[in-house]
Amino acid sequence: MFKVDLIVRDYKPKLITELFYHCSKHKFNLKHQKESRYSLMASPSEKLENSPQIVNDERKQEEENFAYAAQLVNSSVLSMSLQSAIELGVFDIIAKAGDAAKLSAQEIVAQMPTTNPDAPRMLDRILRMLASHSVLACSLENEDLRVYGLNDVTKLFVTNEDGVSLGPFMSLLQDKVFLDSWFELKGAILEGGIPFHRVRGMHAFEYPSLDQKFNQVFNKAMYNQTTLVLKKILEVYKGFENLGKVVDVGGGLGGTLNQITSKYPHLKGINFDLPHVVEHAPSYPGVEHVGGDMFESVPSGDAIFMKWILHDWSDEHCLKLLKNCYKAIPDNGNVIVMEAILPTVPETKSADRCTSQMDVLMMTQNPGGKERSKKEFLALATGAGFSGIRFDCFVCNFTPIDDYQQAIPEAPDSSQHLHTSTQSSSNNTPDAPSLAAAAENLQLVATEELQEHITEQPDVFQALLCNIFKHKFNLKHQKESRYSLMASPSEKLENSPQIVNDERKQEEENFAYAAQLVNSSVLSMSLQSAIELGVFDIIAKAGDAAKLSAQDIVAQMPTTNPDAPRMLDRILRMLASHSVLACSLENEDSRVYGLNDVSKLFVTNEDGVSLGPFMSLLQDKVFFDSCGGGEGESLEYTPTWIVAISLDIGLDSLEDGTEVQIKSLTRQKYVSAENGGGMNVTVDRDSPSSWEIFKLWRVFYTQFQFRTSQGQFLTCTGLGCSVSATAGSPSTTETFDVERNNDRVHIKTTTGDYLQATLGGQLTTDFSGKPGWDSNAATFQMIIVSNNLHGDYQLANGYGHNEAKRVLKSLTLLRSELKGAILEGGIPFNRVHGMHAFEYPSLDQKFNQVINKAMYNQTTLVMKKILEVYKGFQNLGKVVDVGGSLGGTLNQITSKYPHVKGINFDLPHVVEHAPSYPGVEHVGGDMFESVPTGDAIFMKWILHDWSDEHCLKLLKNCYKAIPDNGNVIVMEAILPTVPETNSADRCTSQMDVLMMTQCPGGKERSKKEFLALATSAGFSGIRFECFVCNFMIMEFYK
């Protein structure tokens, strides 16, 4: 407990209490002494739980916990959108406009090769979301036009004076090999369309009926989400209590209404949805199920309720729906809408981040689907005839909105206060001007103990105040124990040591945050794996305050993998760095994990629900791949048993074993092999059966053969022939090229003749010219029948069955393989690709180019900063760069220190292609056998690729290669033993999990682990020289 006396001049005492509470995260009692003097007494143990302020604070914290958990649930949107912005060249376009340039989405799109009229709107939504994450600066011009500028984080993604940026490294981690991603988002912006439709050939509302597994995932997620959120809504929102009849429009199976009528039994509920939905709805007391089309009419009631309906639809659809709702309620009725609220200008708190991410997600799924601002909701309401809107409360990131027909008096003070308090609940601190004003009017009367600290270290006290108030101050001694604090925001202190150091720290933080963004997809994948493994439920079952080690948790899992505890511990350590779990040490090195208020939201609660299924929904392959296809090839829905290696192939949803139906667009008839095969191949069937199903055999790239249900192949001998199904084995005449545009295809022979459906119902090869994509005789709809493998099949990759031995790749995403690796053993990369990460690039030249470009950019960017700070090379004569690849790192070193002779050492097949650099000699060899001698050995990002055993062998070779006064200079990230929540440590812990998925034994290490390696290899110790760009320069000395 401590006490500080304050003299307050012309300011409200209540703000001082609030100010100190927010600054210190500590509760205080404010007591008036005399005149303008007040005392603040810290009271950590005082029982204030029931005071209005504390209850409100707990409410705010509960909301923040949910908002952060919800943000985690769809966190993959951030990395995908950032990647699309990089591919679109957004940051470079802004940078080329000038240092302080601010451009609208329209101005940015004008610099892109696109004719899509929706591109500015779509891009604006992406940039708005990025701005909410502080990746861009954003402000308003005029009333509604957002403009965007670069900040210190974005500049790291802009090609700099050396021609490099973090962008290529982002591209590497978002590449298909690492993450099958939303690359179709870029294509949708440049070319138009809805990403989901571009991948699936249908709308998101149509798809679940064709995929029962996904339908179950979707329904379970919606049920869990609805149950969880609506329970909280009903604790706060009282708008149902005076109603008689409520209609839930788009109510699904009626679960929502059941919750409402259970709390208000006097209500009569009408659950209204499409007929095929409500026909399977269970019976609930007080709920009647009614089928219909909400865009035609809506059943009448005292109020209409719509939960997460409007964000699925365009403004035009919403207006039509709201007009129907208007007609269905009496003059004093209203429409209760439950939706997220999107701020016009992006804000950085978790609730708004979550909403803006969901907005981009909606854009990828539904035609016109989007989140809206208050102003947009008001425009919809008045456009549909309503008098106005009441924004009643804010719960679990959603706001119940009342659209009312007639103007009514203002709500009572209590509800108005509720509105005010809930809207401010997501703010963590008072407005900045209030803080500054309060700070400028403070005088400090120090206690004897505080007086001693101020007298001994006044600079430290000033720095403390600067960190608390985010404001610079002058501290002036008045008399005795009194000091005055004068805010001085404009004072020119740029050259003072403290300010220079602050700028250095900020530069480091900017880089750490950008690096965290680069591999941010690791967070969502790891969290999903923890959910699938039941980690949170296991901890919860151990007791309210339980703390378990990874070993304890793994003991409850169905696994015999001896490495499971170590692997799981690294995942949990990373999650704890993101405040998803609590973590502490038992003994010296054993981490134990407990639940916090965030992770409890992923634990099955008393209602049997959690946020876990919604996380599973957004991480499901159907959503995860909904934007696949840009720089990396898409992993589409169709064949779950095999997909193409990430080579340069096309149409990779049409893999070997895929069953398809082919329908003529002009005749609206299906292609049929009568009797399952033979001479008669017609285009005359109204509905498909087994005769109308063909199994694809990929031959090469976009070339396929079509096999009938009886095993024969479609065949054609030349121009003008009729297609038959008589070939027992395939050759050139049974091979066809497939050109695809969404679900429409052209099929042509290897001689270039297009197949067409004749008016007589035949399939022939006499179409004249090149067909367009309209409904002509040569354009067909290709319908994917099943994602399951039926009958016999061939093993093949994107280059055909003759090269099946090259790489056989499982469709399962890395996140699922991470779960499998924990339960069954192995390295996720090996499980997916059948080889080590170091072997793979030689078989995939496109990915090899991606990784080389990324490493070059990363190395150039970081080494430049390293050489500005680290001076360890200046007194050396000969430096050996072990694992130096093509020698770019040594070239930077020797360019700064021309007297240094550089030996670039790597595998022979690597250095044989290395370019010539002044002062650099390329030497081939195996670092695990021996290392060339030199005054010093340099290793950059080498040790984290290898196990402790490999590292010891390498370090011992390095020890032999240097003189007694030599050292080994190691550049690596440092992992804290106990997780910390700053960006640098989050980035490192995410990278640690990523290394686990890629390299046998690869991992990030703590200082203690590095010291153990050094001493075991014979070194006397380590000097930790400097920390730059999230990496530590260490000198291992003899």
Residues 233 and 167 in one domain: no
What's the count of helices (H) and strands (E) in the chain, helices before strands?
34, 36
User: What distance in Å separates the CA atoms of residue 629 and residue 196, rounded to the nearest whole number?
Assistant: 11
What pLDDT is recorded for position 705? 87
Reported as a single tens digit per residue, the pLDDT across 762-785 is 999 988 888 988 889 999 998 877
The better pLDDT of the pair 120, 927 is held by 927
Residues 234 and 370 in one domain: yes
Domain boundary among 383, 404, 425: 404
> Residue 221 above 50 pLDDT?
yes
What pLDDT is recorded for position 442? 42
CATH classification at residue 1017: 3.40.50.150
Residues 879 and 779 in one domain: no
State whether residue 971 is helix, strand or coil: strand
| Count of domains forming the chain | 4
**Residue in 912, 885, 913, 910 with CA at minimum distance from that of residue 902:** 885
User: What distance in Å separates the CA atoms of residue 935 and residue 666, rounded to the nearest whole number?
Assistant: 77
CB-based contact 536:554 (threshold 8 Å): no
What pLDDT is recorded for position 273? 94
Q: What is the distance of C-alpha 189 from the center of its chain?
A: 19
Q: Model confidence at 13, in pLDDT bands (50, 70, 90)?
A: very low
The encoded tokens of residue 365 equal 């799924």
What pLDDT is recorded for position 542? 95
User: What distance in Å separates the CA atoms of residue 518 and residue 512, rounded to the nearest whole number?
Assistant: 10
DSSP-assigned beta bridge partners for residue 921 = 903
**Encoded amino acid at 743, one letter:** D
The better pLDDT of the pair 652, 252 is held by 252
User: What distance in Å separates the CA atoms of residue 857 and residue 169, rounded to the nearest whole number?
Assistant: 7
| Residue indicated by tokens 């667009």 | 665
| Residue indicated by tokens 């995403």 | 813
> Residue 710 above 70 pLDDT?
yes
Task: Please indicate, yes or no, if residue 908 is contained in any of the structural domains.
Answer: yes
| Residue indicated by tokens 């957002």 | 146
**Residue in 578, 585, 529 with CA at minimum distance from that of residue 557:** 529
Q: Model confidence at 79, in pLDDT bands (50, 70, 90)?
A: confident
Q: How much of the chain, in percent, has pLDDT values that exceed 90?
A: 29
Q: Model confidence at 282, in pLDDT bands (50, 70, 90)?
A: very high
Residues 666 and 714 in one domain: yes
> Residue 213 above 90 pLDDT?
no
Q: Which of 133, 197, 289, 311 is catalytic?
A: 311
Task: Please indicate, yes or no, if residue 351 is contained in any of the structural domains.
Answer: yes
Instruction: State phi, psi for 694 to the nearest 5 degrees.
Output: -125, 140
Most confident of 179-183, 369-373, 504-508, 902-906: 902-906
Instruction: State phi, psi for 405 to the nearest 5 degrees.
Output: -75, -45
Segment 431-437 mean pLDDT: 33
User: What distance in Å separates the CA atoms of residue 833 and residue 831, rounded to the nearest whole number?
Assistant: 6
User: What distance in Å separates the CA atoms of residue 148 and residue 321, rounded to the nearest whole number?
Assistant: 34
User: What distance in Å separates the CA atoms of residue 628 and residue 594, rounded to the nearest whole number?
Assistant: 37
Task: Please indicate, yes or no, if residue 269 is contained in any of the structural domains.
Answer: yes
What pLDDT is recorded for position 177? 39
**Encoded amino acid at 87, one letter:** E
Q: 419-442 burial string, b = 16+ CB within 10 Å, else e?
A: beebeebbeeebeeeebebbbbbb
Q: Model confidence at 903, in pLDDT bands (50, 70, 90)?
A: very high
Lowest mean pLDDT among 114-123, 788-797, 896-905: 788-797
**Residue in 371, 368, 366, 415 with CA at minimum distance from that of residue 390:** 415
CB-based contact 624:632 (threshold 8 Å): no
Task: Please indicate, yes or no, if residue 779 is contained in any of the structural domains.
Answer: yes
What pLDDT is recorded for position 819? 52
CA torsion, ordered 86, 92, 94, 97, to nearest 10 deg? -170
> Residue 362 above 90 pLDDT?
no
Segment 593-612 mean pLDDT: 84
Task: Please indicate, yes or no, if residue 944 is contained in any of the structural domains.
Answer: yes
Task: Please indicate, yes or no, if residue 553 is contained in any of the structural domains.
Answer: no
> Residue 327 above 70 pLDDT?
yes
User: What distance in Å separates the CA atoms of residue 336 and residue 381, rounded to the nearest whole number?
Assistant: 11
State whether residue 965 is helix, strand or coil: coil
CB-hemisphere CA count at 13 Å for 322? 32
User: What distance in Å separates the CA atoms of residue 965 and residue 963, rounded to the nearest whole number?
Assistant: 5
**Encoded amino acid at 1004, one letter:** E
CB-based contact 149:137 (threshold 8 Å): yes
Lowest mean pLDDT among 46-60, 370-384, 810-824, 862-876: 810-824
**Encoded amino acid at 458, one letter:** P
Its domain, for residue 130, covers 68-171
> Residue 547 above 80 pLDDT?
yes
Residues 875 and 738 in one domain: no
Residue 311: active-site member:
yes
Domain boundary among 404, 424, 455: 404
Segment 851-872 mean pLDDT: 83
What pLDDT is recorded for position 514? 63
Q: Model confidence at 619, in pLDDT bands (50, 70, 90)?
A: low
User: What distance in Å separates the CA atoms of residue 909 and residue 803, rounded to the nearest whole number?
Assistant: 24
Lowest mean pLDDT among 297-306, 366-375, 444-453: 444-453
DSSP-assigned beta bridge partners for residue 715 = 724
User: What distance in Å separates the CA atoms of residue 448 and residue 218, rounded to the nearest whole number?
Assistant: 64
> Residue 441 above 70 pLDDT?
no
State whether residue 129 is helix, strand or coil: helix
- Inter-helix orientation angle 564-577/983-998, to 10°: 150
Residues 850 and 965 in one domain: yes
Q: How many CB atoms lie within 10 A of CB 964?
A: 6
User: What distance in Å separates the CA atoms of residue 271 and residue 252, rounded to the nearest whole number?
Assistant: 8
> Residue 234 above 50 pLDDT?
yes
Segment 82-90 mean pLDDT: 85
User: What distance in Å separates the CA atoms of residue 653 and residue 698, rounded to the nearest whole number?
Assistant: 11
Residues 849 and 773 in one domain: no
The encoded tokens of residue 810 equal 């499982």
Residues 217 and 324 in one domain: yes
Segment 129-145 mean pLDDT: 83
Task: Please indicate, yes or no, if residue 604 is contained in any of the structural domains.
Answer: no
User: What distance in Å separates the CA atoms of residue 366 and residue 202, rounded to the nearest whole number?
Assistant: 10
Cα–Cα distance list, 197 to 175, 368, 622 (Å):
22, 12, 12
Q: Model confidence at 297, in pLDDT bands (50, 70, 90)?
A: very high
> Residue 40 above 50 pLDDT?
no
Cα–Cα distance list, 352 to 63, 72, 221, 356, 1000 (Å):
12, 13, 22, 6, 40
Segment 113-141 mean pLDDT: 81
> Residue 471 above 50 pLDDT?
no
What pLDDT is recorded for position 779? 94
User: What distance in Å separates the CA atoms of residue 949 and residue 1012, rounded to the nearest whole number?
Assistant: 12
Q: What is the distance of C-alpha 998 from the center of its chain?
A: 20
CB-based contact 741:624 (threshold 8 Å): no
> Residue 1006 above 60 pLDDT?
yes
Reported as a single tens digit per residue, the pLDDT across 475-522 is 555 555 454 544 444 443 344 455 445 664 676 566 556 657 666 767
Residues 250 and 167 in one domain: no
The better pLDDT of the pair 447, 320 is held by 320
What pLDDT is recorded for position 782? 86
Reported as a single tens digit per residue, the pLDDT across 629-652 is 333 333 233 322 223 333 333 344
**Residue in 941, 934, 915 with CA at minimum distance from that of residue 994:** 941
Residues 162 and 275 in one domain: no
Residue 981, Ramachandran bin (φ over 0: left; ψ between -120 and 50: alpha; else beta): alpha
**Residue in 420, 343, 346, 351 with CA at minimum distance from that of residue 63:** 351
What pLDDT is recorded for position 113? 84
CATH classification at residue 154: 1.10.10.10
What pLDDT is recorded for position 982? 60
State whether residue 737 is helix, strand or coil: strand
How many residues would you count in the chain?
Answer: 1038
Residues 312 and 243 in one domain: yes
The encoded tokens of residue 436 equal 């500054």
User: What distance in Å separates the CA atoms of residue 718 and residue 715, rounded to the nearest whole number?
Assistant: 10
The encoded tokens of residue 951 equal 């590292």
User: What distance in Å separates the CA atoms of residue 673 and residue 807, rounded to the nearest whole number?
Assistant: 34
Segment 685-712 mean pLDDT: 82
**Residue in 496, 504, 494, 517 with CA at minimum distance from that of residue 1028:** 504
Residues 152 and 230 in one domain: no
Residue 685's H or E segment, with its range, is strand 681-685
Residue 256's H or E segment, with its range, is helix 255-263
Task: Please indicate, yes or no, if residue 633 is contained in any of the structural domains.
Answer: no
> Residue 389 above 80 pLDDT?
yes
Please give the mean pLDDT across all residues of the chain: 74
Segment 664-670 mean pLDDT: 92
Instruction: State phi, psi for 63 to the nearest 5 degrees.
Output: -65, -40
What is the CA angle 272-357-66, rounded to 5?
75
Domain boundary among 171, 198, 220: 171
**Encoded amino acid at 971, one letter:** M
